[in-house]
A = this chain, B = another copy of it.
Amino acid sequence: MTASQSRDTGPTTGEHRVTTGPIMGSSKVYRDIETPEGFTLRIPGRRVGLTDGGHFDLYDTSGPYTDDTAHIDVRAGLPALRGEWIRSRTPVNGADTQLAHAKAGTITPEMRFVAEREGLDPEFVRSEVAVGRAVIPANRRHPESEPMVIGKNFLVKINANIGNSAVTSSVEEEVEKMVWATRWGADTIMDLSTGKRIHETRERILRNSPVPVGTVPIYQALEKVDGDPARLSWEVYRDTVIEQCEQGVDYMTVHAGVLLRYVPLTARRVTGIVSRGGSIMAAWCLAHHRESFLYTHFEELCEILREYDVTFSLGDGLRPGSIADANDEAQFAELRTLGELTHIARAHDVQVMIEGPGHVPMHRIAENVRLEEELCGEAPFYTLGPLTTDIAPGYDHITSAIGAAQIGWYGTAMLCYVTPKEHLGLPDRDDVKTGVITYKLAAHAADLAKGHPRAQEWDDELSRARFEFRWKDQFHLSLDPETATAYHDETLPAEPAKTAHFCSMCGPKFCSMKITQDVRRYAAENGLDTVEAIQRGMADKSAEFGEQGGRVYLPLTERSG
C-alpha cells in the first residue's frame, strides 16, 4: 500500500525504474557552504512545510531522487559530488584517508560536510576521526556519495542490507531497493549479493548510491571457487577485494577474527555459527588446519584498503544466533582479536568499525558495548539488532528494534536493520521500508536517550502539531507520512477530518487534548499568565465555566468567535 502511494515515475529507461519525487509533504532543500579550499558544499535536507507557513528541516539521506529538479538517469549514474575534493588532495605520508588527514590536523571537505549535516563543529568531527572514535566511509572511487559520519558522539545511523541470493531477485530490483531504502532513511546500504551478476549488481548500485556502500568480499570470492570454502585462498580473496575497491565500495566486512582455536568453542552452542562469513572461514580453517588467510595477511589487506580509503568493518563471525549463545566465550574471544586488528589497521591509517551481535537478552546488552569500547579503542560499534528474544519469527524487526534502541543508547554508532523476513526469506520492497522505518525510530529513540542536543526538537514539533490538531503537519513530520495518513483516513477519509478536533480512536466527545486548550483560553481572556490564570482566576471563572461546560467540546473555531 505505502509503496504504491509513492510516485514510481522517474525518467528512467526501459528495464530500469526507480522511485523518485519528494516524500509526501516535504521538499528537497540545500544549504550552500563555502570551504577554505574554495569548494561549495551543498548540504541536503528534507524540508517539511507546515500549515502555518513555517517549515521544519530534517536530516536527509535520499540523495537527488527526492529532488524534483534533479535529472535521474540510472544508466549514467549520479554526479561525482566529491570528484574535485579528491583530486585536489595531497596525501599525508602516502596516505589519502580521512584518518590520515585527521591525524595530520586537516579538516577535509568531507568532515566539514558531515559537521554541517549534524550541526556540529568541523574541528570536533576531525578530532573524533583522528582518535578513531568516528569513521567517514568514503572510497576515493565512490565520488557520488554524500559524506556521512559514524560514531558514538553523532546521530545514530542505520544500515539497510540489500542484495540478491541464488534463489531470487534481479539487478534492477536491487538498485530500486537501494533507492527505496535511502528514501526512507538508510544512512548506508550493504550489497550482500551472493547470486548471479554480483559484479554488475554492485556496479549499478555504486554508481547510483548517494550513501556509502558496504560489502562482504568473501561472498564473491566463494562464488569464484564454486562455493567450496576449502578452495578459497589469499590470492582469490585479495583479487576480489581489489576488484571491489576499484568499483568504489566504501566499507568491507572482514571476518579476520575467526581463529582456528575459536571454532571448537562453538561446538556446544544451541545455534553454532550463524554468520555466513564466519562459517565460511571456520570451514576453511578446519579444512586446512591453519589460521585464516584474513588473519595471516591482515597487514597486506590494510595496505590495499588504505590505497582507496576503504573502511574496515571487522565482522563478528562468531556472533550468537540465539539467546542461549549470547555473550559466550566464542563471541568474546573473537572480539578480543578484533581489538588487536583494530590497532594494526589504525597504524596503517585505515578507518575501522566493529560489528556486533546478534541475539542478546536485554540484561546482557550493555556488556557488549563496554567490552567493545575497552578492547577496540572505542572504534564505532556496528550491531545487528540485537534480537532480544527468539520466539517471534515474522516480527524480528521488532524483537531487534528493542535491542537496537538500547544498544544505540549505550553507545553503538550504527544499527544494521532487520526486516520482518529475517530467518524466513529474502526481504521484498515493503519489508525493506518496514525495516528502515523501524530502525530510524529506534535510532532516534537512542538519540533522545543519549541526549543528542537537537534530537528532541523533532518530537516537540510533531507533538505540538498533534496537540493543535494540525493533522497534516503531524503526518508530514512523521517518519512515514504515507502510512500515517492512510491509517487516519481508513476511518475518517473526508477532508474536514484533517482539521477536526478528534479522531475515530476516541470520537468527538472524548478527545482529551481540548481541556488544556480551554484552560489556556481562560488565561488569554484574563490577560494573565496561564498558570496564574487558573490559580487566581479559576474560582471566579468556575461558575461561568460551569455554564459553559458543554462548550468544552466545541471546536476552537467557534470559541474564537
**Residues of chain A at the chain B interface (Cβ within 8 Å):** 165-168, 194-195, 219, 222, 227-231, 263-264, 266-276, 278-279, 282-283, 286-289, 321-324, 361-363, 388-395, 397-399, 401-402, 405-406, 409, 420-426, 428, 437-438, 440-442, 444-446, 448-451, 456, 458-460, 462-464, 466-467, 474-475, 477-480, 483-484, 486-488, 490-492, 503-520, 523, 530-531, 533-535, 538-539, 541-542, 545-546, 549-550, 552-553
CB distance from A561 to the nearest CB of B (A): 20
Q: 9 more A-B contacts (CB under 8 A) besides A323-B456, A362-B409?
A: A166-B508, A219-B510, A222-B509, A279-B513, A279-B514, A289-B538, A321-B512, A390-B460, A420-B487
Distance between A364 CB and nearest chain B CB, rounded to angstroms: 8
Given contacts A219-B510, A390-B459, A459-B390, contact A441 B399 (CB under 8 A): yes
User: Which residues of the partner chain B approach A542 to less than 8 Å between Cβ atoms?
Assistant: 286-289
Instruction: Check A506 against B550 for contact (C-beta < 8 Å).
Output: no
Instruction: Select which of B270, B402, B508, B538 is within 8 A of A445 by beta carbon.
Output: B402
Which residues from B are CB-within-8-Å of A516?
266-267, 269, 271-273, 279
Interface centre among A271, A542, A549, by most chain B C-beta atoms within 10 angstroms, is A549
24 contacts between A and B (CB under 8 A): A165-B510, A166-B507, A167-B492, A230-B549, A267-B533, A268-B530, A270-B464, A271-B516, A279-B512, A289-B539, A322-B460, A322-B467, A323-B463, A362-B406, A363-B451, A388-B449, A390-B466, A392-B441, A394-B487, A395-B441, A395-B480, A398-B441, A423-B505, A425-B505
Looking across the interface, which residue of chain B has its beta carbon closest to that of A446? B362
Question: How many monomers of this protein are in the complex?
Answer: 2
Residues of B within 8 A of A553 (CB): 227
**Of B166, B228, B271, B322, which one neighbours A549 at CB under 8 angstroms?**
B228
Given contacts A273-B515, A512-B278, contact A463 B322 (CB under 8 A): yes
Given A287-B542, A549-B230, are A393 and B460 neighbors across the interface (CB < 8 Å)? Answer: no
A472 → B minimal CB distance (Å): 12
User: Cβ of A523 and Cβ of B322 under 8 Å apart?
Assistant: no
- One of B227, B402, B448, B505 near A401 (C-beta < 8 A): B402
Q: Contact partner of A283 among B219, B361, B391, B515, CB < 8 A?
A: B515
In the assembled complex, the CB of A467 is this many whole angstroms from the nearest CB of chain B, namely 5
Task: Report the separation of the CA atoms of residues A451 and B362 in the bound assembly, to the nearest whole angstrom.
Answer: 10
Chain B residues within an 8 Å CB radius of A321: 463, 467, 512-513
With the chains together, A13 CA to B61 CA distance in Å? 55
Q: How far is the CA of A266 from the CA of B553 in the complex (A)?
A: 18
Which single residue of chain B is at the shortest CB-CB distance from A445?
B388
State which of B228, B286, B422, B508 has its C-beta within 8 Å of the C-beta of A550. B228
A445 to B400 alpha-carbon distance, docked (Å): 10
CA distance in complex: A423, B282 (Å): 50
Q: Which of B393, B448, B505, B515 has a CB less than 8 Å from the CB of A424? A: B505
CB distance from A505 to the nearest CB of B (A): 5
In the complex the two chains form, what is the Cα distance from A486 to B393 in whole Å?
A: 11
